[in-house]
Structure 1
């Protein structure tokens, strides 16, 4: 529309050209001077348009390489039934993450940080335990082929895992992940619950996951139960929203 600010019109034109393939992923946009000449505006106006598209996660500026259309890897599809796969006998080490990413064990890296903590009101409600209950807190950063893909902060009752191999960070990564660890402790999970919300990443999350500006994350809160007992709470699993598609299915009985 003619009455829209010039920077919005320019951003809209470039956005459409990115989406229709005029500028495919990895291609360089016209220079500032070329955009100024094409649209008859000042460099300040063009910079506003470019900053808007950068904030939407569509483009990125590379030192010495100009402004290019961001290359976004195809989003991986993640379904709830992935938890069943790692409870079956495995010929080779795997976890839900390695299966999701379709990587082998040698392409998997896990940064970890283990501490002891007390359950705050929210964690206590999720565990259905009193506030102040002692927990093992584990923060993980998951890498596939050398690239950080997700952050996970999970909690386990200290009374369950204290002085066991599960509380030893040196034993990570553990084939089968948390499911296998709970089974090792004698409590094979019978139910997994997940709730998902979208939000913007914290500065620390965006830096750790090497995210472009303007991209939200999916924050997944998970509980693992054995019968009525809550054995693990993950608050949260954090994944850039442009890297994953969550698939959910339910069988409807007659």
Structure 2
């Protein structure tokens, strides 16, 4: 059996110490020089071990702050219940995102960019429309407590939203989110469908979401329907996989 290189062995031991709580989230790892002396290896070997742990999203290095165990408390997406905040918002402004992150409306920030597009073949199939059908494209970056947490690009038929407040980016964020907007247009959502995949982020996504190297994303393609009519397609919701737990429940 081949003996693993020294940097992999050191990374493995540090990984175990991180996972068992010896080095909890936010704690500082020993310095490179200290680990070098402790293991009897060169500093280059320790740097290789740190690089491996960094690529796995376990640690981060801050200028003047040393190397820390990454602290990323997960937001929980309750797939069967999270949209209740939007279909039955009550008296306090909220969306499924603010519920996920347990934040108030004051702590919520939404960057947005609107444009008109024509449906490509994939979007047309998701909408059950003809390719080339005009759509409103809305690109959002969701922030919670000053940190970017989610990217979402959704589409609505232009014939449905043209000339309405839903097509006005200055009206965002809209209490109740997209379900409230569909209800405002006279088409309350009666069904939500989500398909989940995983992949590595694009460089732009990683930069926007301030992701550590080596961390994948979850992507969710969503359709909102009113009766049999598809009125919204989200392609995609992009979430850092180390910040989210997808909970599903099936009543049998």
What TM-score, normalized to structure 2?
A: 0.96
For 2:26, what is the secondary structure of its paired residue?
coil
**Contact 2:75/2:100 (8 A) holds in 1:** no
Stretches of 4+ moved more than 3 A in 1? Answer: none
1:7 paired residue number: 7
CA contact (8 A) 2:76 2:247 kept: no
1:78 aligned partner: 78
Cα offsets for 1:165-218 (capped at 9, x unmatched): 100001111111100111111111111000001111111111111111111111
Q: Please state whether the residue corresponding to 2:210 is helix, strand or coil.
A: coil
Which residue of 2 is the match for residue 247 of structure 1? 247
* Equivalent pairs, count: 252
Matched residue, 1:17: 17
Provide Cα deviations, 1:100-133, integer angstroms capped at 9, x if missing partner: 1111111111110000001111111101111111
Structure 1 match to 2:139? 139
CA distance in structure 2 between the aligned counterparts of 1:23 and 1:111, rounded to whole angstroms: 35
| Counterpart secondary structure, 1:82 | coil
Calculate the aligned-residue CA RMSD, in Å: 1.4
Distance verdict in 2 for CA 1:75–1:190, change over 3 Å:
closer
The 2-side partners of 1:5 and 1:230 are apart by 55
In 2, distance between residues paired with 1:87 and 1:5? 55
Kindly tell me: are residues 133 and 190 of structure 1, through their superposed partners in 2, closer, same or farther at Cα, counting changes over 3 Å?
same
Matched, 1:195 2:195: yes
Structure 1 residue runs of 5 or longer lacking an equivalent are: none
2 CA distance for matches of 1:20 and 1:100? 27
Aligned residue in 2 for 1:161: 161
Contact in 2 for aligned 1:32/1:46 (Cα 8 Å): yes
The 3-state SS of whatever aligns with 1:163 is coil
- Partner residue in 2 for 1:41: 41
In structure 2, the gaps of 5 or more residues are: none
Asked whether the 8 Å contact 1:75–1:242 carries over to 2, the reply is no
CA distance in 2, matches of 1:186, 1:80: 23
